[in-house]
Structure 1
Amino acid sequence: MMTEVATIAGGCFWCTEAVFDSLTGVQAVESGYIGGHVTDPSYAAVCTGRTGHAEAVRITFDEAQISYADLLDIFFHTHDPTTLNRQGADAGTQYRSAIFPHSPEQRAEAEEAIERNQADWDQPIVTTIEPLAPWYKAEQYHQQYYANNPNAGYCAAVVGPKMAKFRKGYAARLKAA
């Protein structure tokens, strides 16, 4: 097994975590905060938009089963990378679209993914490539949030429909249930 780590931010981490946790080759997905200036931020603090952190996910994956490039392509097709600091009703820098490469090779692949995926969008992709920064795991109740709360209001209204759309397009890549 060739384990690697990817860190991405694509709006609310509940949506992002649910998508990537369902993929074959993904061993773990952890929700957390990255890219800010406050040490050990809380969800309440990040939600103010004043810490500089993005809600993000850290994905541990087996490169032999799914590539970093594949993860990035899925990332670009499961959120709107053309809206600055916004995903749907969630607005603020904490919901920005960003990639935090773990190596120069991942940075180069992120740059290529932006170019490759731009053709699928009418507006320019505004996803940033940011330096890897300290990672802060989100509070435990945020971990596996959709899996544990599929009928909660936000999950039923936003995450569920996103997952249904995702399953249609990526059924071959999903973990066997």
Structure 2
Amino acid sequence: MDKVFKVGFGGGCHWCTEAVFMALNGVEKLEQGFIAPIENTADFSEAVIVHYNAALIALKDLVAIHLDTHRSTENHSMRNKYRSAVYFFKQEDEIVLNGIMTDLQQDFEIPLITSILRFWEFKSSEERFHNYYFSDTEKPFCRTHISPKIRILKEKYAKHVSPQVQ
């Protein structure tokens, strides 16, 4: 029996992040909302929790996809709302994620700003925003901001993209 693991990702708008991970084989469940790290329990930012089947997609691939589909090397004025982070749930995952980030840094000319943070709390976004992209891919926001990320997935990570994604 395959085991389902979970990891949190934040970096950009949770509508964008949700769409990226919903498009992948091996993602069994996705929660869209706001995450606060244990380091600052009142500091929520937009993020998703990805429940994935490690037999179908590796954590390293999920992290690489995350880094390639948001501004993982750029600090900007909206970083409080859109913290670039990977959230872990079990302490032993921190070491694994640090190793993955070190390996993936080699793919970037500029240092990654993405933090590895221990998960503390999750607050779901409003139900009307869930499945934002796939409920209507033609919305102006979707065409402008999310569709380019889906194109990156299809070009660079095609083996992981679900056949249902057009």
- TM beyond 0.5: yes
SS in 1 for 2:15: helix
Structure 2: 5+ residue stretches without partners: none
User: What is the DSSP-based 3-state SS (H/G/I as helix, E as strand, rest coil) of the residue aligned with 2:120?
Assistant: coil
Q: Contact 1:69 / 1:109 at 8 angstroms: preserved in 2?
A: no
Structure 2 partner of 1:162: 149
Deviation at 1:101, TM superposition (A): 0.5
SS of the equivalent of 1:130 reads: strand
TM-score (norm 2): 0.89
Aligned to 1:6: 7
- Runs of 4+ residues deviating >6 angstroms: none
* Partner SS for 1:94: coil
Runs of at least 5 residues in structure 1 that lack an aligned partner in the other structure: 39-51
Q: Which letter maps to 1:58?
A: I
Query: TM-score, length-normalised on structure 1?
Result: 0.84
Report the counterpart of residue 141 of structure 1 in structure 2: 128
SS of 2:157's equivalent in the other structure is: helix
- Identity among equivalent positions (%) equals 28
| Mapped partners of 2:90, 2:60: distance in 1 | 14
The superposition leaves residues 130-149 of structure 1 with CA deviations (integer Å, 9 ceiling, x where unpaired) of 22111111110221100113
Letter in 1 for 2:73: T
Aligned residues: 160
2:153 and 2:161 in contact (8 A); partners too: no
Say yes or no: does 1:55 pair with 2:46: yes
